Amino acid sequence: MQRPDTQTYAQQFPKLPPTATDAQGHLVYTQFIDGGFTRAGGARLATSDPVTGRQWASIARGTAQDVDTAVQAAHRAFTRGAWPAMNASQRGALLRRIGDLVAEHAEWLAHVEQRDNGKLSAELSMQMRYMANYYYYYGGLADKMEGTVIPTDKPGVFNYTVYEPLGVVACITPWNSPLPLASMKIAPALAAGNTVVLKPSEFTSASLLELMKLFQLAGVPEGVVNVVTGLGAEVGATLVDHPLVQRIAFTGGPEAGQRINEQAASRMKRVTLELGGKSPNIVFDDADFEQALKGAVAGIFAASGQTCVAGSRLLLQDGIHDRFLERLVEIAGSARFGHPADPQTQVAPISTAPQLGKIESYVQVALADGARLVAGGKRAHVPECPDGLFFQPTIFADVDNRMRIAQEEVFGPILSVIRFKDEDEAVAIANDVDFGLAAGVWTTSMPRALRMAGKVRAGTVWVNNYRSTSVTSPFGGFKMSGVGRECGIAGMREYMEIKSVWLSMETDIPNPFVRR
């Protein structure tokens, strides 16, 4: 199956200005700084299609100077001009216009994102349509972050609080869901009145730059949102360290997150860090067997396991363990590979070649540690995509929770199956890991469901479902899974300072040497 040519596809969206091409026909993306796209000069990085393994575009390899230019532009936009002159209701209206444009161009954004990361059209279409809700929700919330009047115990003074923006916010996003994860940060940051400099993954920058065309159409003032592309060590680290950046919002791996946290702490910067997980998906004997089976598949093999909430540890109670594992192996072996644009395809490619290599290495790690391979374990050859980066859905049985395959995030379609005997052991295994992003519990017992939700150390606990999320509900992790929350009202407050104001109602201070 062939997807539509990108340039031909773009003709369906005449509002969008075209992207330049080079002599080989590759799209040439430039950085977006101070309200416009820069020239294409300087070093460049190739961006490849994981379905074909071939280059289809290139992005600018940003420098420290590019970062400074973007941050300075964002700082100017924050301190003077059209943006600070807008009130909260006007910011909200602007965000809703962006939401309308995102909804109108969802098909185009999904097409570009698929060229970059190879995700299934079925999932991308849903994600792009839903993405408009980030701008609608925070557009509606922009003028509703109310302060309070505090009835203090101090006579003669009036005390109230207000929420204020921080300033320049740095957003750093990964390659697995570039647009949704960026919008999850951009929308509340702008609703709060901040300005943004965004650094996308060097593997998946094109869709973010296409999104900036919609920001232009919506009338976002110059410098309010900027995109600097390039490598983490050259662009990301410089952005985190810039003295004018007040907050860093990062989604990615724990090692990079730790470095960012340490770097930010040296300047007392605030951080929001979502650093992945090793999430337990716990199935009890009394669960609805078929629903739990679907939940286990969705938890690890959806998006080829390339999701931070992947249920990569499947905990099965003794009474159902063998039958459940047998059925799971059957499903994994019958999964349909193919072009991600084909609605019949169930397994899409791995997004990047380095990630494919990492997944392969963890298969060897698991085997060396004594896990038993019962499904998959190697690359998949797909005739219609012979050069695609496909990997088989992989299942390891007889996994001990102390094995590396059960402790370290793989970020791929590799499932570790762990047996447990009772509720206490399930809780002990579930919590015996450095991460705490999400967990699933499958049971028909409401008391058990409530007990497990209270005992499992995770920021999100799904009961009899898996991977449900909403812009209205806070999302984030415990332990090494991160700091802070995204989405919901809690996500908005991450981008604001609370200020306490004291007004004296007295005409005379009796003794200035004594604290009141």
- Residue 59 CA: distances (Å) to CA of 45, 212, 221, 306: 5, 14, 24, 23
Burial, 263: exposed, middle or buried (Cβ in 10 Å; 0-12, 13-18, 19+)? middle
Amino acid at 344: Q
Phi and psi angles of residue 157, each rounded to the nearest 5 degrees, phi first: -135, 155
- For residue 53, give Cα distances in angstroms to 20, 28, 175, 389: 22, 18, 16, 7
| Amino acid type, 91 | R
The one-letter amino acid at 85: A
Amino acid (1-letter code) at residue 417: V
- Residue 116 CA to residue 108 CA, distance in Å, equals 13
The pairs formed by 381-385 with CB atoms below 8 angstroms and a separation of 24 or more are 382/337, 382/338, 384/1, 384/338, 384/339, 385/51, 385/52, 385/338, 385/339, 385/349
Q: Name the 3-class secondary structure at 157.
A: strand
Q: State how far the Cα of 438 lies from the Cα of 29, in Å rounded to an integer.
A: 36
Length of the chain: 516
Amino acid at position 461, single letter: V
What are the catalytic residues? Answer: 274, 308
Instruction: Choose among 226, 106, 246, 250: nearest CA to 169.
Output: 246
**327 SS3 class:** helix
For residue 21, the tally of other CB atoms under 10 A from its CB is 14
Whether the Cβ atoms of residue 60 and residue 38 lie closer than 8 Å to each other: yes
244 token code pair: 């004018």
Residues 375 and 385: beta-carbon distance below 8 Å:
no
Find out whether 93 and 312 touch, Cβ atoms under 8 Å: no
Extended strands (E) in 261-406: 270-274, 280-283, 313-317, 372-375, 394-397
